Structure 1
Amino acid sequence: MAEEITNIFPIVLLRDRLMPNLFNEDIADITYWAGKSLAREFELHGIKAIIDFFNDAGFGTLTMHSQKATMQKWHLTGQVIETRLNEEKVPDFNLEAGFIAQQTQQQLGFGAEAQVEINKNIVILTVLTESAGTLQD
């Protein structure tokens, strides 16, 4: 697993300063679909591969919190998350949500959508699938 990024300024600059100015009120939709599109470029297999990708991409530290037949809850934490939450009123995490939804869909073979919730210094990504299935390690 790669080390957590120590200089998160480039991520904050692009994700929380430039992109909101470019996309305005459409940022959530655009970044969600961009995340899904990005996920199609990577053939990942299993939970660990998704977790490693998030770390390598500088998205933060991803952990599987719980998994049921048609739902997974993931927690996204780490320094990059804390900084983004502290520096921005409403940082956008829909890129990450779209990515994890598409990866889940690819791995399970069922439609999947993700929702974002922010709770203190944790970003909670809830993935709902159309049919029962669980991701493997």
Structure 2
Amino acid sequence: MTNAFYSQFAGNAVKSSVLSVEILRDALLPNLLGDDSSGILYWAGKDLARQFPVAGNDDLVTFFDQAGWGHLIIDKESDNLITYELTGEPIARRSFAIKKPDFMLETGFLAEQAAARTGCVSEAKITFQNKMRLRIAVTVDHNQPLTAHDPATPIEIVRPEADQATDGDDPESNADES
């Protein structure tokens, strides 16, 4: 169901309303969750990462763009630390509209994606945040392997632009046929 769910919406040309997403994320959830909102959103991000595992960094970047979470950049990557930078219109919009925007959903998602890839306990935290970007550091603890770790099959990332170019609809590729 997860791959079909993702494919149906990621490939849809009609994008969801930003207003509907922001109402749920920044008005409803904080009121429902109260003071525990950040912690719950972190664990919700980890749960979403288990539902929507991605195969690698390129897929992770694409998924973040498609989810409307912003433009993800892998800043540094070592054996036990991955540093990401998250920028773009979604970050700026939420930062200017909301007094203290919460990005723990994204933070938890990155922590769990690292755990799935390494098979080790991974935790993430925001190490820098301003109105235009934030930096998230994911620490991988190789001394704590996940027990009964059975990696899920990654979802197939939908790339509409790439799919269209292979359909033979590219004007330049059809020029030779004339």
TM range (shorter): 0.7 to 0.9
Percent of aligned positions that are identical: 35
CA contact (8 A) 1:58 1:80 kept: yes
| Residue number in structure 1 paired with 2:138 | 127
Identify the match of residue 95 of structure 1 among 88, 92, 105: 105
| Residue number in structure 1 paired with 2:31 | 21
Q: Which residues of structure 2 form unaligned runs of 5+? A: 1-9, 144-178
Normalised by the size of structure 1, how large is the TM-score?
0.87
CA deviation after TM superposition for structure 1 residue 56, in Å: 1.0
Letter in 2 for 1:69: D
CA contact (8 A) 2:91 2:131 kept: no
Letter in 1 for 2:94: R
CA deviation after TM superposition for structure 1 residue 36, in Å: 0.5
d(CA) in 1 for partners of 2:20 and 2:114?
A: 28
| Residue number in structure 2 paired with 1:52 | 62
Letter in 2 for 1:24: G
Structure whose CA Rg is larger: 2
Deviation track 1:17-75 (CA, whole Å, cap 9, x = no partner) reads 11111111100110000010111112311111111111111111111111122111111
| Residue number in structure 1 paired with 2:161 | none
| Residue number in structure 2 paired with 1:114 | 124
Letter in 1 for 2:106: E
RMSD, matched Cα: 2.1
Q: Which residues of structure 1 form unaligned runs of 5+? A: 133-137
How many residues are aligned here? 131
Letter in 1 for 2:76: S
CA deviation after TM superposition for structure 1 residue 7, in Å: 5.0
Q: Which has the higher contact order (CA 8 A, sep 6+)?
A: 1
Structure 1: which 4+ aligned runs deviate by more than 4 Å? none
